[in-house]
Amino acid sequence: MSLQILLNGISTGAVYSLIAIGFALVFNILKFSNFSHGATMTASAFIAYFLVASRGWGLAPTLLCSACSGAVIGLIGEFIGFRRILLNHSAPTYFFVSSITLGTLYEGLVTLKTGTNFYVYPNFFDVATVKIFDAVVSKENIIILAISAVALIILAFIIQKTSIGRQIRAVSFDRDTAKLMGINSTLIIQVVFAISGFFGGLAGCFLGIKFTLTSTLGSLVVKGFISSVIGGLGSLTGAVIGAMLLGIMEALFLSFWGSGWATIASFALMLVFLLVRPQGIAGSNVQEKA
């Protein structure tokens, strides 16, 4: 494996890890997958493009706008969909239908605004590539990897070392018991949805920069879901490991056999894990609600 393929794979895996973390956080708290996550990514990326990037405001404001938009969209989704279900229903079907309905609604609004047009983020770098030993790597891949790593490290610190992180872990373990111990479970769930949306918005913007911005961008959320399955649903560490493995594997297949085989290999890898180790690399056996 050449250094260039490895770096490209790690950069792609870094974006997938942001998506997978969004899945894992919500799954940790509510034990179901939030299928509106892809639409959150798409909507956030478009908001950042129309409000910031198209005006030439630079990379940092664009990323911040997309990430914050994702956090707000995540909170809206939690309020209009998931919270009311938690208060009134416990049947798994309601969780599944709610996430699918919210995702369809978000995607419909984006498509109504943008149609099927393609949009391209402006070039944020004067020099597009840098040379690392014998590899020629795009600056955007380096920036994506660096920012993703910093974001994941900050999240790990929050989860492990702060009061809000301990409350998130407590609610994840047992929501009802945490509530009896004085933890505001509703607030913690809101925080989790906001963080999940924040990471989704960041990932959506990175995908728009790395590829192109379309109303179907959210379909790439399946990469994050596959990463979560490989790493173990609900495991944050596993989500990152699974995303990196998936990114490197896709880079290899893309270089030697093409994008079609890379997609097939992704699903094949997920199926292998579901058959051989359904709990994933770092996860445990958990029954999903939806």
pLDDT category, 35, cuts 50, 70, 90? confident
Task: Pick the range with the lowest mean pLDDT from 34-43, 107-116, 143-152, 253-262.
Answer: 107-116
Query: In this structure, what token pair is assigned to residue 56?
Result: 């030439």
**pLDDT for the residue numbered 68:** 95
Q: pLDDT higher for 76 or 110?
A: 76
- Inform me whether the pLDDT recorded for 289 exceeds 50: no
* Domain map (residue ranges) of the chain: 3-276
Note the pLDDT of residue 153. Answer: 93
> Per-residue pLDDT tens for 161-216?
999 999 998 988 888 888 888 889 889 989 999 999 999 999 999 998 888 888 87
The label of the residue with tokens 């995702």 reads 103
Average pLDDT over residues 26-35: 78
Banded pLDDT at 283 (limits 50, 70, 90): low
Q: What is the pLDDT of residue 99?
A: 55
Q: What percent of the chain has pLDDT over 90?
A: 19
Q: How far apart are CA 186 and CA 87, in angstroms?
A: 10
Render the chain in DSSP notation, one character per residue.
--HHHHHHHHHHHHHHHHHHHHHHHHHHHHSS--TTHHHHHHHHHHHHHHHTGGGT--HHHHHHHHHHHHHHHHHHHIIIIIHHHHHH---HHHHHHHHHHHHHHHHHHHHHHHTT--B------SS-EEEETTEEEEHHHHHHHHHHHHHHHHHHHHHHHSHHHHHHHHHHH-HHHHHHTT--HHHHHHHHHHHHHHHHHHHHHHHHHHS-B-TTGGGGHHHHHHHHHHH-TT-HHHHHHHHHHHHHHHHHHHHHT-HHHHHHHHHHHHHHHHHH-TTTTT--------
Average pLDDT estimate for 80-96: 59
- Over 70: is that where the pLDDT of 106 sits? no
What is the reported pLDDT for 231?
A: 85
Sign of the CA dihedral running 162, 167, 168, 174:
positive
For the chain, the average pLDDT equals 81
Global pTM value: 0.85
Predicted pLDDT at 67: 94
Question: pLDDT-based confidence at 276, cuts 50/70/90?
Answer: confident
Per CATH, the number for 3-276 is 1.10.3470
| Residue 154's pLDDT band (cuts 50, 70, 90) | very high
